[in-house]
Structure formats: C-alpha cells, structure tokens
Amino acid sequence: MKVINSKLILAVSVFLIASLTACYEKFDAESYAPKVSIGGFTGSNEIAASNLIAHFPFDGNYEEIISKTAGVNTGTSFGNGLKGQAMKGAKNGYVLFDPTAAILGLKSFTLTYWVNNESTTAAGGVVGMVGLSQKAGFWGNIETFFEGSGTNASGTFKAHIQNDSTETWVEKKELVNLFDSWNHIALSYDAASSTFNLYLNGSKSVTTTVKNYGNLKWKNPGKMVFGTVQFQTKPSLTTSSAGEPWASYMTGLLDEVRIYNVPLKDTEIDALVKLEARGK
C-alpha cells in the first residue's frame, strides 16, 4: 500500500509541476529589470512634452508627428539613424516643410537634432542642416550649418538668428570629431534674458547674450529646409541669392529634429541626449 501511495503522490506532483509550468511564460530577466531613468525621465518624449511643438523622427517618412503634416522631399532618402531611421542627404538633396503656426509664433525656443555629417575639406565651405528661411534675406531666420576648416580634423558650427530687423550669430570654432560620427546639436534661446545657449553632445559650449533682443519676431518667414542652406534650394527660398559656390548639401544623416517653445534646462538637454543615444 505504501508503495502505491508513494507512486500516486509522485504522479500527482509531476502533474502539478507540469500544469504550473504550462501556466507561466519563460522567465525574462529583462522584463523585470528597472527602467532606465535619467534626470527623472525614462524616455526622450517625456522631456518638456507639453512644450514640444515639432518633431521630425525621419523614420521612413518626412512627417512632422505633432502636426501630422509631411515635408516635401527632393533627392534625399533614408538610412540607419541613431534612433530608428534617419534622413540621408545627397548632393542637390533637401526637404522643405511649411512651418506650423506654433513655429511661426515662437518667442523663445530650443532646436535639437542629431547629425552624422560626411567628411568635408573645403575651407570656408558651408553645409546646411536645419533652418527656417527668410524670403528676402541672405541668411534664414534660423540657419544652422557646419563650416569646413580645410581638413577633417575640425570645423565650426554656426547659427544665424533673425529677430525682426536685428540679426545675431552663435558659433563654436575648432570642433573635433565633427565629421563621420554622430553629434547632437542643441540651440536654445531665452527671450526673458535675451540669451542663447549652444550645446554639443549635451554639454554647454557657448553662451551669448544679446542686449534687449527680447521676444523673437521672424522676418518674412518662408519654408523650413533640412539638408542645406536656404539659398541652395531650386528655386532659392530667398530673393537675395540664387546659390553660392562655397555652399553645399548635407550628404550624411540627420535624425530626431525637435523644436520646443521654451529654452530647455541643462539637465533636460543632458537627459535628452543620453536617452536618445540609448534609443529611448
């Protein structure tokens, strides 16, 4: 009898173990791991979410996902981005976008993006990335570009900002590892203090204060342009130039372009860079 009972208990035990195993999925250690939190954020879209007015992820299309409207492509394509896919520039290639009311109404702002620019050796030559055109001005209301130094060892980042009849420049010279690698650019403007800040890969590199610059007021704004400067499109976005021999096109990759209607805090930009670099 004891032998029978032992066999019965063993059979029941095996049945119960098999039943319990069938009820639970295989243990996945990753699903139980705590979420990565940087600066109190677990994803890039959590950062100043209510102030994000435009976002171009370039994940296989040219849509700005806040307004759900698309840009118009000329000659560009898609490649492997830092996060998903990215816009792949080309000679004579660019994307145009009709700015939304939120972009046209900016008083303060933060513009951020990732760029992996191919090598350039043209001393003084410029390669445009992101801008908001000015229909009758040589430079755009916002014009951001790299300027070559003659070698691939370093280069200069420059940003032109037009505020009604007054313009200003923000620039950082002798940037190393500027070409053939991913770099994050963030440019912010605080109207309350008339101060611009430029961040490279999350670190503040330049602070420029323009006396009484105040609330921004774009001058004759036109389309936004990605992948070149405003006067290199065909036709040109400005009546001031139909193209310059020293200006060129971004033939590398552009990814995760974001525009906020406030100047982000240092900690927010640091978190944005670290989270996007992790694909978050």
pLDDT digits (tens, 9 = 90+) for 64-106: 999 999 999 999 999 999 999 999 999 999 999 999 999 999 9
Q: Does residue 11 lie within any of the structural domains?
A: no
Give residue 34's pLDDT. 58
| % of residues, the chain, pLDDT over 90 | 76
Give residue 266's pLDDT. 97
The CATH number given to whatever domain includes residue 179 is 2.60.120.200
Q: Does residue 66 lie within any of the structural domains?
A: yes
Q: Does residue 245 lie within any of the structural domains?
A: yes
Q: Is the pLDDT of residue 248 over 70?
A: yes
Spatial separation of the C-alpha atoms in residues 82 and 38, rounded to whole Å = 18
| Confidence category of residue 175, pLDDT binned at 50, 70, 90 | confident
Q: Does residue 57 lie within any of the structural domains?
A: yes
Tally of domains within the chain: 1
Q: Is the pLDDT of residue 268 over 60?
A: yes
Task: Over range 55-65, report the average pLDDT.
Answer: 97
Give residue 243's pLDDT. 94
Q: Does residue 21 lie within any of the structural domains?
A: no
Which structural domain range is residue 165 located in?
Answer: 29-277
Give residue 149's pLDDT. 75
Q: Does residue 101 lie within any of the structural domains?
A: yes
Q: Is the pLDDT of residue 9 over 60?
A: no
Q: Is the pLDDT of residue 112 over 70?
A: yes
Strand locations in the chain (E): 52-56, 63-64, 69-70, 72-74, 77-80, 85-88, 94-97, 109-116, 126-134, 142-148, 154-163, 166-176, 182-190, 195-200, 203-209, 221-226, 247-248, 253-260
- Buried b / exposed e over 203-212, threshold 16 CB at 10 Å, is eebbebebee
Give residue 12's pLDDT. 45
| Chain mean pLDDT for the chain | 88
Give residue 24's pLDDT. 42
Residue type, 262: V
DSSP 28: -
Q: Does residue 1 lie within any of the structural domains?
A: no
DSSP 75: S
| Confidence category of residue 205, pLDDT binned at 50, 70, 90 | very high
Give residue 122's pLDDT. 66
Least trusted range by pLDDT, from 44-53, 150-159, 264-273: 150-159
Q: Does residue 5 lie within any of the structural domains?
A: no
Give residue 154's pLDDT. 80
pTM of structure: 0.86
Number of helical (H) and strand (E) elements in the chain, helices listed first: 4, 18
Q: Is the pLDDT of residue 27 over 50?
A: no
Q: Is the pLDDT of residue 28 over 60?
A: no
| Confidence category of residue 125, pLDDT binned at 50, 70, 90 | confident
